Amino acid sequence: MVFLHRTGAFAVILSCTGFFSVHAASHSPPAEPGSEWQTRRLMTPTPSQLDAESRGRVFIYDSLGIGQVEAAMDQNFDRIENMMFTRVHHPPTTEGGSEEVEDDGCD
pTM equals 0.61
CA–CA distance, 82 with 72 (Å, rounded to integer): 12
Q: Closest Cα partner for 88 from 38, 40, 44, 51?
A: 38
At position 33, the amino acid (one-letter code) is: P
Per-residue pLDDT tens over the stretch 72-99: 999 999 999 999 999 999 888 777 777 7
At position 20, the amino acid (one-letter code) is: F
Per-residue pLDDT tens over the stretch 27-77: 444 445 557 899 999 999 999 999 999 999 999 999 899 999 999 999 999
DSSP string, 79-102: GGGGEEEES-EEPPPTTSPPPEE-
